[in-house]
């Protein structure tokens, strides 16, 4: 059977599965089967300091679609909206997006008053099944953000529970055992779960009073245990969406030391799996006067270590000051970044939406088709 006929059959299978899900059909397909329906067989890996798919380089021509209705999974997940939006992402030349699969830990995750986690609700898994079927149908690689500084912020209902959770190795293990390992069992073989972001902008948990000002040692305890589990149970890549280089570098201006290095995580947990696979930094214009305008300098000049690939995991959809989004994407590529993911595709705040940066992602796809869709899809 030719490759094109194989793809056509797989694509029809994924479409049928998606139709059943959107129509409310039961039972839902397991996510690995639904996701595999739209292949590719290969998954994104790291080779020679770059991302690779099936032996060919892939560059993350990406976006953030963090939430639609906040805490969507196990909450008010709207499969039809996500389906239409992922279709729009694909048409805009985007090959990957970042989704917060829990925004504040108030919905979908069972956590008690002491911070012990006992799993997720059936609705949470049902909604994630739908998300990965949609991702497969529209060939969008998902970076799943497990949690955010919002979990610990005092305007969210369960912030005290999450602060107690972070204070206890036993509680962290309860999350790993009942949420993360089942997540990997369910989706870890799907190529569409290409990476996991352990936490959105953990610096604010350390710095800000409203987030508890919790010590880096406790954040590292979570990062180390979660990374070990992901590497032990899957080939999914691991990162952390850092707000700035300040705590992700030993050399950057105002550095407090690299709190997420292999050395730091393995000091917390003596296991080679306690490590990140690539570095993610977020860039907004307030960063520029301190560290430089990220797309226009190399990751090393921005202060990031040279031992891992680096991605700009958030940047305003309207473009950095004085630049268009198209200039930002091309400059980042030229300066050795391995991807850019604009914030946000659905306009969750003041920084713009897909209409602002779709011309950039389309232009990058048209200029570098072999880097955006190396499988020819």
By percentage, how much of the chain surpasses pLDDT 70? 89
Res. 41 pLDDT band, cuts 50 70 90: low
Tens-digit pLDDT profile for residues 127-186: 999 999 999 999 999 999 999 999 999 999 999 999 999 999 999 999 999 999 999 999
pLDDT digits (tens, 9 = 90+) for 312-352: 999 999 999 999 999 999 999 999 999 999 999 999 999 99
**8 A C-beta contact, residue 307 and residue 330:** no
Query: What integer is the mean pLDDT of 250-279?
Result: 98
Q: Is the pLDDT of residue 83 over 80?
A: yes
Helix axes 79-91, 3-22, angle to 10 degrees: 150
Q: What pLDDT was estimated at residue 14?
A: 46
Which has more confidence, 11 or 95? Answer: 95
Residues 100-107, mean pLDDT to the nearest whole number: 98
In this structure, the strands spanning 339-343 and 193-200 are unpaired
pLDDT of residue 237 exceeding 70, the answer is yes
pLDDT band, very low/low/confident/very high, at 377 (cuts 50, 70, 90): confident
DSSP 153: -
Q: List the structure tokens of 93.
A: 């030349």
Note the pLDDT tens digit of each residue in 12-22.
444 444 444 44
Stretch 299-308: mean pLDDT: 97
Question: Closest Cα to residue 344, out of 74, 98, 113?
Answer: 98
For the chain, give the percent of residues with pLDDT over 90: 88
Question: What pLDDT is recorded for position 2?
Answer: 37
CB contact set of 107 (below 8 Å; sequence gap of 6+):
71, 73, 74, 75, 124
Q: How many CB atoms lie within 10 A of CB 22?
A: 16
Exposure class string for 298-324: b at 16+ Cβ within 10 A, else e: bbeebbbbeebbbbbbbbbbbbbeebb
Three-class secondary structure assignment of 275-337: CCCCEEEEECHHHHHHHCCHHHCCCCCCCCCCCCCEEEEEEECCCCCCCCHHHHHHHHHHCCC
CB atoms within 10 A of CB 256: 15
Average pLDDT over residues 22-44: 48
In this prediction, residues 282-287 reach a mean pLDDT of 98
pLDDT-based confidence at 49, cuts 50/70/90?
A: very high
Q: Over the Cα atoms of the chain, what is R_g?
A: 19
Using pLDDT thresholds of 50, 70 and 90, give the confidence band for residue 376: confident
φ/ψ (deg, to 5) at 198: -70, -30
pTM, entire model: 0.92
Burial of 16 from C-beta contacts in 10 A (0-12 / 13-18 / 19+): middle
Instruction: Tell me the pLDDT of the chain averaged across its residues.
Output: 92
Q: How many residues does the chain have?
A: 377
CA distances from 66 to 131, 204, 370 (A): 13, 18, 27
1 pLDDT exceeds 60? no
């Amino acid at each position: 059977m030719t490759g094109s006929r194989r793809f056509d059959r797989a694509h029809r299978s994924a479409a049928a599965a998606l139709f059943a899900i959107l129509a409310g059909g039961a039972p839902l397909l397991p996510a690995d089967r639904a996701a595999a329906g739209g292949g590719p067989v290969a998954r994104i890996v790291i080779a020679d300091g770059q991302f690779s798919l099936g032996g060919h380089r892939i560059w993350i021509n990406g976006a953030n679609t963090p939430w639609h209705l906040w805490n969507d999974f196990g909450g008010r997940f709207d499969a039809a909206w996500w389906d239409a939006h992922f279709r729009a992402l694909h048409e805009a030349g985007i090959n990957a997006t970042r989704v917060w699969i829990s925004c504040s830990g108030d919905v979908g995750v069972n956590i008690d008053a002491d911070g012990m986690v006992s799993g997720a609700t059936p609705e949470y898994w049902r909604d994630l099944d739908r998300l990965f079927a949609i991702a497969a149908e529209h060939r969008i690689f998902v970076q799943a953000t497990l949690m955010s500084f919002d979990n610990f912020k005092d305007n969210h209902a369960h912030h005290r529970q999450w602060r107690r959770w972070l204070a206890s190795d036993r509680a962290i293990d309860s999350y790993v055992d009942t949420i993360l390992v089942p997540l990997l069992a369910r989706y870890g073989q799907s190529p569409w779960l290409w990476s996991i972001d352990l936490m959105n902008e953990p610096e604010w948990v350390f710095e800000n009073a409203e987030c508890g000002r919790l010590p880096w040692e406790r954040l590292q305890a979570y990062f180390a245990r979660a990374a070990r589990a992901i590497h032990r149970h899957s080939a999914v890549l691991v990162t952390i969406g850092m707000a700035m280089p300040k705590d992700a570098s030993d050399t950057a201006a105002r550095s407090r030391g690299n709190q997420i290095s292999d050395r730091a995580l393995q000091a917390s947990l003596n296991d080679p799996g306690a490590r990140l696979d690539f570095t993610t930094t977020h860039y907004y214009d307030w960063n520029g006067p301190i560290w430089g305008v990220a797309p226009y300098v190399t990751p090393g000049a921005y202060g990031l270590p040279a031992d891992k690939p680096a991605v700009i995991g958030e940047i305003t959809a309207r473009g950095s000051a004085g630049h268009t989004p198209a200039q930002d994407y091309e400059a980042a590529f030229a300066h050795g970044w391995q991807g850019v993911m604009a914030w946000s595709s659905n306009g969750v705040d003041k920084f713009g939406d897909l209409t602002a940066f779709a011309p950039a992602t389309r232009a990058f796809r048209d200029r570098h088709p072999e880097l955006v869709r190396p499988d020819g899809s």
